[in-house]
């Protein structure tokens, strides 16, 4: 199955970020169609029919989320675009932000119109300076054409859009920490419920979606929800962007139909393992998802259900390729250093647990491993994930356990060689 470029269509054109170029491709016709010819219920119906699932990691159906908001309820309501893109291995949103920001902005305006929202924030990670400039320029262009601001296209609907820069914290990608950060508070997750749909930005109803989720919306309105759904599998509609990195022949961002066989994606599109080496393992959805061994990839297709059936997750669509030379102990040491550094510290099991996990792997990697260290990971892991406010605990426990279970011999070899095991 080949690539199918909808969001990425013409993205490599040097003018792809400009509004004139975007409109020459049919950009903003979906907005005109939605506002001119469709009721809010009709738009919502198409988004539900499209089977579009949130592209930020959790895969929650966008149409259902949009349906939580009551457009006619009094008082301000907000839209948030999650452009934090913090998950290691993920670099697909940056591509949209920098090279095709209007497709996301058009999707946001349609979303705001459908849910009757007053203002929107694009929460963009601090390190994304060039994407920020591109998005700010695109917002100014959209105001100039009358797609943002008061009485958009004479519809009586008004919507303002702002960028908001994060300061580079991974946890600020978690939607409630992100909301706190927009409000000027420390970026720490909130207890849910209440969910953002009831109590979001400034305590008001808020919808949060990922960059790619919004970018899928214009094509759904132009071609219909069924058209989009039929591109993918019965449960995972449409196309999906994957960023593939590591020991791969052709790293990059690819858009493929959901349900594309793994083999077609990896070997035909991405060229397989770099330099003719053997494949050792694949992390399919970003560093927080369990690692898979080559035999587990047999028959896998690139969609939420198939990857889950193999014991991992599609996550943020960040595929990391590991060849035969990869030292799994060294890699886990690097991953856990990241999570220990990024825990926001609010929940004790996560704050202490992420440091413990890093301490253990650090000593194994540096020749101080102890007998029983692998059991200690298992034991500690049981008490972290279920006892935290957000999914950060699971984000480092689940991949760790997959590493030590699937590559146990490698970890044991390090421990056996170590000073402390030798007594
Ligand atoms: C620790 C953590 C980090 C996250 N980081 C991101 C992120 O960088 N970008 C993103 O879109 N979603 C991220 N999410 C998921 C968001 O909380 C939320 O589910 C998403 O923005 C909803 O949009 P969607 O339904 O379109 O996927 C993260 C979640 C967790 C628990």
E strands within 38-190? Answer: 78-83, 119-124, 160-165
Containing 241, the helix (H) or strand (E) segment is strand 239-246
The string of pLDDT tens digits covering residues 196-236 is 999 999 999 999 999 999 999 999 999 999 999 999 999 99
Enclosing H/E stretch for 253:
strand 252-257
**Res 175 pLDDT > 90:** yes
Give the DSSP letter string of 270-324. T-SBGGGPPEEEEE-SSTTS--B-GGGGTT-EESHHHHHHTTS--TTSEEEEEET
Regarding the beta carbon of 189 and ligand 1, being less than 6 Å apart is answered: no
Report the CATH number of the 239-323 domain: 3.10.20.600
Contact 417, 367 (CB under 8 A): yes
Atom 18 in ligand 1: residue holding the nearest Cα: 175
Assigned token pair, 306: 């198939």
Q: What confidence tier does 1 reach under pLDDT thresholds 50, 70, 90?
A: confident
Q: Indicate which residue's Cα is closest to atom 29 of ligand 1.
A: 174
> For residues 193 and 200, is the Cβ–Cβ distance under 8 A?
no
Which residues on neighbouring strands pair with residue 260, listed in sequence order?
302
Using CA positions, which residue lies closest to atom 11 of ligand 1? 56
Identify the residue whose C-alpha is closest to ligand 1 atom 30.
174
pLDDT for res 347: 97
Residue-wise DSSP of 165-219: E--S-GGGGSHHHHHHHHTTS---PPPSSSPTTTS-GGGS-EEEEEHHHHHHHHH
Identify which of 7, 50, 55, 58 to mutate to test ligand 1's pocket (most ligand atoms within 8 A of the CB). 58
Look at the alpha carbons of 175, 19, 229, 284 in this order and tell me if their dihedral is positive or negative: negative
Q: Is pLDDT above 70 for 420? A: no
159 C-beta closer than 6 A to ligand 1: no
CATH architecture for the domain at 328-417: Up-down Bundle (1.20)
Percentage, residues of the chain above pLDDT 90: 97
Is the shortest distance between the CB of 342 and ligand 1 below 6 Å? no
Q: Which of 122, 210, 343 to mutate to test the pocket of ligand 1 (most atoms within 8 A of CB)?
A: 210
What is residue 421's predicted lDDT score, i.e. its pLDDT? 61
Q: How far apart are the CA of 58 and the centre of ligand 1, in A?
A: 7
Query: What distance in angstroms lies between residue 59's CA and the mean position of ligand 1's atoms?
Result: 9
Arithmetic mean of pLDDT, 242-258: 98
pLDDT value, residue 212: 98
Q: What is the pLDDT of residues 374-406, one digit of tens each?
A: 999 999 999 998 899 999 999 999 999 999 999
- How far, in Å, from the CA of 358 to the mean position of ligand 1? 24
- The confidence score (pLDDT) of residue 386 equals 87
Contact in structure between 120 and 162 (CB atoms under 8 Å): yes
Indicate the domain borders of the chain: 19-231, 239-323, 328-417
The distance from CA 83 to its chain's CA centroid, rounded to whole angstroms, is 9
- Give the pLDDT of residue 385: 84
Average pLDDT over residues 342-348: 97
Q: What value does the mean pLDDT of the chain take?
A: 97
Q: In angstroms, how far is CA 264 from the centroid of its own chain?
A: 23
- Name residue, tokens 């400034």: 202
Ligand 1 pocket, residue 55 CB under 6 Å:
yes
Q: What is the pLDDT of residue 188?
A: 97
Task: Work out the pLDDT band at 69, boundaries 50, 70, 90.
Answer: very high
What's the pLDDT score for residue 377? Answer: 97
Q: How far is the CA of 55 from the centre of ligand 1 (A)?
A: 8
404 lines ligand 1 (CB under 6 A): no
Please indicate whether residue 284, judged by its CB atom, sits closer than 6 Å to ligand 1.
no
**58 C-beta closer than 6 A to ligand 1:** yes
Per CATH, the number for 19-231 is 3.40.50.11540
pTM greater than 0.95 (yes/no): yes
pLDDT, tens digit, 9 for 90 and up, residues 266-319: 999 999 999 999 999 999 999 999 999 999 999 999 999 999 999 999 999 999
Question: With a 6 A CB cut-off, is 175 part of the ligand 1 pocket?
Answer: yes
Q: How far is the CA of 13 from the centre of ligand 1 (A)?
A: 29
- Spacing, Cα 61 to ligand 1 middle (Å): 13
133 lines ligand 1 (CB under 6 A): no
Side-chain-side CA neighbours of 333 within 13 Å: the count stands at 17
Dist CA 190 CA 182 (whole Å): 13
CA of 82 to the centre of ligand 1 (A): 7
> According to the model, what pLDDT value does residue 422 have?
53
* Cβ neighbours of 126 (radius 10 Å): 13
């Amino acid at each position: 199955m080949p690539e199918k470029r909808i969001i990425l269509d013409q993205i490599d054109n040097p003018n792809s970020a400009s509004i004139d170029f975007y409109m020459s491709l049919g950009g903003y016709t979906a907005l005109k169609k939605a506002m001119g010819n469709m009721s809010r219920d009709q738009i919502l119906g198409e988004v539900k029919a499209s089977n579009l699932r949130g592209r930020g990691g959790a895969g929650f159906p966008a149409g259902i989320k949009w349906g939580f908001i009551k457009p006619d309820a009094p008082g301000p309501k907000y839209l948030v675009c999650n452009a934090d893109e913090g998950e290691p291995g993920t670099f697909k949103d940056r591509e949209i932000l920098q090279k095709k920001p209007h497709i996301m902005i058009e999707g946001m305006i349609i979303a705001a119109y459908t849910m009757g929202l007053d203002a929107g924030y694009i929460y963009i990670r601090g390190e994304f300076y060039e994407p920020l400039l591109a998005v700010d320029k695109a917002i100014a262009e959209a105001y100039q054409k009358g797609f943002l601001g008061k009485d958009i296209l004479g519809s009586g609907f008004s919507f303002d859009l702002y960028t908001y820069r994060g300061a580079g914290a991974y946890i600020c990608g978690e939607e409630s920490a992100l909301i706190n950060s927009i409000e000027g508070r420390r970026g720490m997750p909130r207890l849910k419920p209440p969910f953002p749909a009831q109590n979001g930005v400034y305590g008001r109803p808020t919808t949060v979606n990922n960059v790619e989720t919004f970018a899928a919306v214009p094509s759904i309105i132009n071609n219909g929800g069924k058209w989009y759904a039929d591109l993918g599998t019965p449960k995972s509609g449409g196309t999906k962007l994957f960023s593939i990195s590591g020991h791969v022949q052709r790293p990059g961002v690819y858009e493929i139909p959901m349900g594309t066989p793994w083999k077609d994606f990896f070997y035909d599109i991405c060229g397989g393992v770099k330099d003719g080496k053997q494949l050792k393992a694949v992390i399919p959805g970003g560093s927080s998802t369990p690692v898979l061994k080559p035999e587990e990839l047999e028959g896998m297709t690139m969609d939420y259900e198939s990857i889950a059936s193999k014991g991992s997750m599609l996550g943020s669509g960040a595929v990391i390729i590991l060849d035969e030379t990869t030292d799994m102990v060294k890699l886990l040491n690097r991953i856990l250093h990241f999570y220990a550094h990024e825990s926001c510290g609010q929940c004790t099991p996560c704050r202490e647990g992420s440091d413990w996990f890093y301490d253990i792997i650090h000593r194994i990697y540096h020749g101080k491993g102890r007998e029983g260290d692998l059991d200690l990971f298992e034991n500690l892991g049981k008490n972290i994930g279920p006892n935290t406010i957000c999914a950060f605990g699971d984000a480092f426990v689940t991949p760790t356990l997959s590493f030590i279970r699937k590559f146990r011999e490698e970890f044991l070899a390090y421990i056996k060689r170590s000073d402390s095991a030798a007594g």
